[in-house]
Amino acid sequence: MSFVDTSYTAAESEAMDAALTAALAGPRGANPLVGAVILSPDGEQLATGYHRGAGTAHAEADAISEARKKGIDIVGTTMVVTLEPCNHVGRTGPCAQAIIAAGIAKVIYAVDDPHDPAAGGARTLSAAGVEVISGLEGEKALDLNRDWFDAVAAKRPFVTLHIAQTLDSRIAAVDGTSQWISCPESLADNHGLRGLIDAILVGTGTVLVDDPRLTARTPDGELSAHQPIRAVMGLRDVPQDAAVRGNDGRFVHLPTRDPAEALGMLFEKGVRHLMVEGGSSILSTFLAADLVDELIVYLAPTLLGSGTPALNDLGITTLADAQHWSWDEAGGGAVRILGNDLRLHLRSPRGAASIIKNSIPGSEAAEYVTGGH
């Protein structure tokens, strides 16, 4: 459901900018980044909220909760939020009902929920007498979650690609050894992600060479509470004694070499956030097909000089066709130091023109003219 664009007060525009900034604190994945600000009738920002990822409070509920903690009366206030409030009863209850129950008088949101329009919360809010306006900073809000909107539109999971590489982008030495290129802190970070996603995917080649378990584990080696589906993609058989099979029924073999088909199969199984772990051919296949939304690279300060490169072919033959990824500040920053490694976080070229790119410190463009090396 779309509402008419209108003119906004300076306080409303500022609140939307604050909500967009707040949204960036959340992680990418099955759910979009969302931020919300509660505005008093005289334009004061009373409380801010954001969504911390699947299974946690939505941004609107987070802002209402923040206001309650502060003991602020929010009856008659305006909720400024980067995405249309939801109407469905998921793990966290519908935001439309929470907004109505809180006595909020007006809702300004940036972009519509991309799912079935009838399911959006705007109609429910409006029917309950809440004034609803949409479109403020709509472009920025779309950019903020460009990759997620793409995944929703394509009815495929949001795809995170994981690479653990040396400085010269090798993921294994000549003799196949790869344990461990990353430092313990990077391994722990990766296992933390495994405990949040719906599924993890490797190729049959990786199973045959490394025999990984692909479970999410805590630093002391225990299984995490939440385990992802373990997907192996490829036409070769997965050995009966492969560790990835486990005995919890969460293993699945996807007998295809087509990444789009693999994503379709996983979406059918309810997977909304997939992490692709390797090897080189699988990583390259997903990247070449433009089916990666987020890239997480653990970069160790080591050199091998030879061995298995992280990527082996993207179908690119000239520099002008290189894939230009964007640094992504969402969910903890574009560049982080993890132990002795760097953790790099990037968005797909589809999301390149987003507000996030401009938020990297020191990224001011500068003119520099040279005529050769």
Residue whose pair of structure tokens reads 């400085």 in the numeric block: 167
Residue 184 as a binder of a copy of itself (CB under 8 A): the answer is yes
Of the residues 72, 105, 142, 173, which one makes contact with a copy of itself according to CB under 8 A = 173
Nearest approach in angstroms of CB 236 to a copy of itself is 18
The neighbouring-strand residues paired with 81 are: 36, 109
* Residue closer to a copy of itself, measured from CB, 95 or 296: 296
183 is in an annotated binding site: no
Contact between residue 104 and residue 79 where contact means Cβ atoms under 8 Å apart: yes
Q: Does residue 186 contact residue 219 with C-beta atoms inside 8 Å? A: no
Give the x/- contact pattern for a copy of itself in 47-86, rule: CB under 8 A. Answer: ----------------------------------------
Shortest distance in whole angstroms from residue 212 CB to a copy of itself: 3
Site for a copy of itself in 339-358 (CB under 8 A): 339-340, 342, 344, 346, 357
Q: Which of residues 301-340 bind a copy of itself (CB under 8 A)?
A: 301-307, 309-327, 335-340
Distance CA 350, CA 325 (A): 8
Q: Which is nearer to a copy of itself, 38 or 304 (CB)?
A: 304
Taking the alpha carbons at both ends of the chain, their separation in whole angstroms is 55
User: For a copy of itself, which is the closer residue by CB, 62 or 277?
Assistant: 277
Binders of a copy of itself among 229-288, rule CB under 8 A? Answer: 243, 277, 284, 287-288
Provide the angle, in degrees to the nearest 10, between the axes of the packed helices 259-268 and 280-288.
90
Burial of 303 (0-12, 13-18, 19+ CB in 10 A): exposed
β pairing state of 229-233 and 251-254: parallel
Q: Which of the ranges 6-14, 33-41, 110-118, 205-213 carries the binding residues for a copy of itself, by CB under 8 A?
A: 205-213
Total site size for a copy of itself, rule CB under 8 A = 83
Q: Rounded to an integer, what distance in angstroms lies between the CA atom of residue 72 and that of residue 66?
A: 9
Options 12, 60, 84, 294, the catalytic residue: 60
**86 annotated as ligand-binding:** yes
Determine which residue in the list 65, 169, 227, 359 makes contact with a copy of itself, applying CB under 8 A. Answer: 169
For 265, the enclosing helix (H) or strand (E) is helix 259-268
**164 has binding-site annotation:** yes
| Residue with Cβ nearer a copy of itself (72 or 188) | 188
Interface residue with a copy of itself among 101, 154, 167, 353 (CB under 8 A) is 167
Q: Is 180 annotated as a binding residue?
A: yes
Q: Which is nearer to a copy of itself, 71 or 305 (CB)?
A: 305
Tell me if residue 60 is catalytic: yes
Cα angle 308, 281, 264; round to 5: 155
The answer to whether the beta carbons of residues 83 and 111 sit under 8 Å apart is: yes
Work out whether 217 is an interface residue with a copy of itself (CB under 8 A): yes
Q: Where are the beta strands (DSSP E) in 115-203?
A: 131-134, 158-166, 170-172, 199-203
Q: Is 224 one of the binding residues for a copy of itself (CB under 8 A)? A: no
Does 325 appear as a known binding residue? no
**Rounded distance between C-alpha atoms, residue 76 and residue 106, angstroms:** 8
Distance CA 175, CA 19 (A): 50
User: Per rule CB under 8 A, is residue 366 in the interface with a copy of itself?
Assistant: yes
- List the one residue out of 324, 329, 323, 333 whose CA is nearest residue 356: 329
Binder to a copy of itself among 116, 220, 241, 268 (CB under 8 A)?
220
- Residues labelled as active-site residues: 60
